[in-house]
Amino acid sequence: MAKADIPSTYDPRSVEDRWYPYWEKGGFFHAGVNPDQEPFCIVMPPPNVTGQLHMGHALDYTLQDILTRWRRMQGYSSLWVPGTDHAGIATQAKVEEQLAKEGTNRYELGREAFLERAWAWKEQYGSRITAQLRRLGASCDWQRERFTMDEGCSDAVREVFIKLFERGLIYRDYYITNWCPKCHTTISDIEVEHIEKPGHFWYLKYPFKDGEGHVIVATTRPETMLGDTAVAVHPDDERYTGLIGKMLVLPLVGREMPLIADEYVDPSFGTGAVKITPAHDPNDFEVGHRHGLEQIIVIDKEGKMSAEAGPRYQGLDRYDCRKKIVRDLEAGGYLLKTEDLSHGVGHCYRCNTVIEPMLSRQWFVKMKPLAEQAITAAKAGDVRFIPERFTKVYLGWMENIRDWCISRQLWWGHRIPVWYCKDCDEMIASKEPVSQCPKCGGTDLEQDPDVLDTWFSSALWPFSTLGWPKQTIELAYYYPTSVLVTGRDIIFFWVARMIFSGLAFMNDVPFRVVSIHGMVLDALGRKMSKSLGNGVDPIDVIESHGADSLRFMLVTSNTPGNDLRFNFEKLDGARNFANKLWNASRFVLMNLEDYEPGERHGQYTLADRWIISRYQNLTEEVTRLLESYELGEAARVLYEFIWNEFCDWYIELAKPRLYGKTTPQDRYTAQSVLTAVLKGTLELLHPFMPFITEEIWQHLPGKGLTIMRASWPVARKELSDPEAERQMGMLMEVTKAVRHIRSEMNVPPGKQVEAFLEVPQNASREVLERGTGYVQSLANAKVAIYDALPEKPEQAAHAVTRGVEVFVPLKGLIDIEQEAARLRKELAGLEKDLARVKGKLNNQGFLSKAPADVIEKERKKEDELTGKQTAIRERLSMLVGKNE
């Protein structure tokens, strides 16, 4: 084999820029239907076409890529379907921003021209995030890339709408929905983010018409009182016995309205009397339905007061109106008192504007019939959540589900396939455009102006991307898909909707496993956001540390279902790991100049048998952890093996046979073991760190087209050697004991020490005698073994491990007086620090006033300082005797 031409330092950028185009052009990501292979399929949670890669994406797609690369190497026909979402609200907002800069708007442009602009925006900017995914190393089948508004997905959306409409599961009605005054559209309940805000309770007098007394109500939104049509109390509330049915007069308005009884009212909350505003509160809407109350809309779609609010308030912003109404109520003697409170206020998840509950005519999906199947599937285990606790989260939402408002007042999106005949008011739902009314024959038709909720199309993603409603061979082969990897924050948005959609239209769940991960938080545990300015751009990290380091840091920080904190120290640690792997691999490759695979190796040493056995265990454990979706733990196991066992131990143990006076056969044996273990370990690591593993693998003898096409390693039980592991473990522990003494006592690295081992005649003694050479070379120590030392050496450091007593005489190695003086000085400073900490912890004032986390920090500091104190005293005792 020629001498390896591998650079002395690892440059992630040059490696990544070279290998990704090679993989993509080579078609190595492409998967096809193959009856001789097991299918494996993941559909990518489609990022918004407006978006750019953030840390949540980076984690999500790294986990998916690991699973896809692993299964591909195992011989599965592994398909990872990429795609983007049209992102109705977000994309329309981007285009409208452009129009505003040009001094125009969508209404002046017209719907058709606006949509042309939106498609142009998508073509110009929509590929940004897919280009960033390539930088991350995502091995998607880009030949199968989809878009939620491409021809096939659009056909699927229309098909589902018509089928649900024909089954009576889609209907149109007036209902309270969440209206965003800035985005000018409804949003669903789960798209409302409730943020805790300071507010007030205003207590108001509503007088009876007959002038005999009043009822007191409390409200957080006095501006909505202009739309009140009743006051409700609980039927069993004795305070209001005899008053139910009497008429009240609405303050400031003068409208007469009844005092009604309804079990919705909680008599223990507030005054036990509740103002009812059917057009501006979902609960009041239900009460109004039960009692036949009038619905008066007093806040319009701009968040301003409507004509129904009366001339005094019409046109005011809702919050300006609130201030004016409070002043007017106080002036009229209707305001009794005001209390401060903190309460959850609903905000639009897109633009952070406070949403307005508003009565409007919208399209809905009846959810109860669809939810029943989805609940049954989860309870039967047809779809499994990892971690299991998320099954309860999912079921809790599905069992209390409300009808889904699917219409949005936008132009960008899937337009609702319903037409209205202006001649006879007939409503026609059709997949194809309608030009003539089937009822009256009229041609004056108008299509519904609204579009469907973006989640309506993404709910079909697992089967629409595989060709449905056409019965394609891909659909038959890959559906149900294998696993969905996604964040816990979209279980309701997306996961649940895909499950009931798959059951409704494919008669099977869309995936067998849902692997849930948490959110990526900043170092302080806060959600990353633009407002906090605490986001970390994955592309910046890839530029500075490389994609492999970012991927490895994210996966090793991740445990299923739990949030993780972005940690720059761990990121640096991942880069150090990549450099460690590079340097170790370079050492191996530089020592293969005379190596030709296939030659007969000599007898394996204990170290050879140990590392081969440890590699078999590694292979089995990594595979088991991946099967269990413990991806972070699998990565950590690989890290420990590569850094500690392979790099720090085996390479060092092999060096004498590579450099020293040895036979060609012994050298070849060391080369063959190094090569085999390195190659297999790179293949195990490849799904986690694809770039560096490809680069090193290509330099090894016997390379192929790509490491992606290598077979996933399989543990060979016959090579597992527990006895070699036990023996090597003992030698390593003794070596570490000597190394520890050298380090603790500041023995210069170049100085050889004497190590006296006291061990009785037994199996351990035999192991140590045979393995003395390992200890001597790795600890730079001259080793002598005794049943029992004739006398304990003076001024010797001492350790006990695995039943072996280790003594290292220090005389002549270090200046004992100087070292003792240094230790006494260190001990004095440490004892001052310890006294200060103990003083705090014995101070009742500190304990009563300090936060719990501060007290706990001091206690940990006390434990740490006490441990250091004990260790230094023991070292002094070794040097100068027990009286120190």
* DSSP codes, 181-195: TTTTEEE-GGGEEEE
Judge whether 686 and 708 are in contact, CB under 8 Å. Answer: yes
Cα torsion 105, 106, 112, 115: sign? positive
**In the numeric block, which tokens belong to residue 130?**
């897919």
524 phi and psi, to 5 degrees? -95, 5
What are the residues facing 3 on neighbouring strands? Answer: none
Comparing CA positions, the residue from 15, 177, 149, 176 lying closest to residue 83 is: 149
**In the numeric block, which tokens belong to residue 386?**
């990892």
Judge whether 445 and 437 are in contact, CB under 8 Å. Answer: yes
Judge whether 804 and 758 are in contact, CB under 8 Å. Answer: yes
698 phi and psi, to 5 degrees? -70, -20
What is the CB neighbour count within 10 angstroms for residue 462? Answer: 27
Judge whether 485 and 58 are in contact, CB under 8 Å. Answer: no
Q: Is 379 one of the annotated binding-site residues?
A: no
**In the numeric block, which tokens belong to residue 522?**
């900043």
Query: 3-class DSSP state for residue 645?
Result: helix
Judge whether 712 and 681 are in contact, CB under 8 Å. Answer: no
Judge whether 511 and 495 are in contact, CB under 8 Å. Answer: no
**In the numeric block, which tokens belong to residue 656?**
């004498």
Q: Within 13 Å, how many C-alpha atoms sit on residue 370's CB side?
A: 28
2 phi and psi, to 5 degrees? -70, 155
Does the bond joining 851 to the residue before it have cis omega, within 30 degrees of 0? Answer: no
- The size of the chain, in residues, is 884
Judge whether 484 and 513 are in contact, CB under 8 Å. Answer: yes
Measured CA angle at 240 (ends 236, 241), to 5 deg:
70
Judge whether 601 and 669 are in contact, CB under 8 Å. Answer: yes
Q: Within 13 Å, how many C-alpha atoms sit on residue 360's CB side?
A: 23
Q: Would you call 839 exposed, middle or buried from its count of C-beta atoms within 10 A (0-12, 13-18, 19+)?
A: exposed
Q: Would you call 456 exposed, middle or buried from its count of C-beta atoms within 10 A (0-12, 13-18, 19+)?
A: buried
Pairs from 196-199 (Cβ < 8 Å, separation ≥ 24): 196/342, 196/343, 196/344, 196/345, 197/342, 197/343, 197/344, 197/345, 198/340, 198/341, 198/342, 199/340, 199/341, 199/342, 199/343, 199/345
Between CA 430 and CA 866 the distance in angstroms is 78
Comparing CA positions, the residue from 600, 617, 391, 680 lying closest to residue 513 is: 391
What is the CB neighbour count within 10 angstroms for residue 266? Answer: 11
Does the bond joining 222 to the residue before it have cis omega, within 30 degrees of 0? Answer: no
3-state helix, strand and coil shares in percent for the chain, rounded to the nearest 5? 45, 20, 35
**In the numeric block, which tokens belong to residue 805?**
């007593």
**In the numeric block, which tokens belong to residue 79?**
């398909």
Query: 3-class DSSP state for residue 564?
Result: strand
**In the numeric block, which tokens belong to residue 557?**
């920080």
The per-type count for the chain, helices as H runs and strands as E runs, is 29, 29
Judge whether 322 and 334 are in contact, CB under 8 Å. Answer: no
Annotated binding site for ATP: 530
Annotated binding site: 530
